[in-house]
Amino acid sequence: MKNIVVRYGVIASLIVVGMPLLSGLIIGFGMDSFAMGEIVGYTSMIAAMTTVYFAMRQYRDQINNGMLSFGLGLKIGSLVSVLAGIAFAIYNVVFVTIIMPDFNEQYFAYAEGLELGTPEFEAKFTAMMESNGFMFSVLGGTILMFATVFLIGFIMSVISTLILQRKQVMTV
């Protein structure tokens, strides 16, 4: 099971980090690319978490004699999701500290329809940071990105397990 989890966790990690990174290199990292970045980001999370299904299916068919219990399927899917979540969390840290250190300010301006540096932006950004600054901190954003990927993966794990589970038939 470990080899399958690691293999599909690495594949999911490459997808969930690679698609946004590649997209950013093509369309750029800035306010004018945020709308497309959101689409690419969530699409990459969903695409990456489809690996959960393939990990479970391979385990069931090639390792476990065609059997997959709900608990085992959930375990495999959750572990793949954890690996992808950790990869995306690390990417988030690199992104907001090295690639685009002013991401929070730019994204807030984009989301609020404000122009960076204006008094209105400064007032609203300061107020938001005072009331909800943790989510815009490196740690808060990293936890949020991990949780988002993991939650999508967990949902995919439940769905995939329901599709793929096969219980051993008792013979008398």
User: Which of 75-79, 97-101, 127-131 tops mean pLDDT?
Assistant: 75-79
Give me the pLDDT at residue 170, please: 53
Backbone φ and ψ for 115, nearest 5 degrees, come out as -95, 130
Q: What number is the average pLDDT over the span 59-80? A: 94
Q: Vertex 106, ends 117 and 112: CA angle to 5°?
A: 80
List the one residue out of 127, 126, 143 whose CA is nearest residue 135: 143
List the one residue out of 75, 77, 85 whose CA is nearest residue 147: 85
Give me the pLDDT at residue 169, please: 57
Percent of the chain exceeding pLDDT 90 equals 63
For the chain, what is the radius of gyration of the CA atoms? 20
H helices of 28-102, where? 34-49, 51-58, 70-94
What is Dmax (Cα atoms) for the chain?
79
Kindly report the three-state secondary structure assignment for every residue of 98-113: HHCCCHHHHHHHHHHC
Structure tokens at 129: 């940071």
- The whole-model pTM stands at 0.87
User: Which of 68-72, 84-88, 127-131, 161-165 has the weakest average pLDDT?
Assistant: 127-131
Q: What pLDDT band is residue 5 in, cutting at 50, 70 and 90?
A: very high
Task: Give dist(CA 167, CA 150) in Å, integer.
Answer: 26
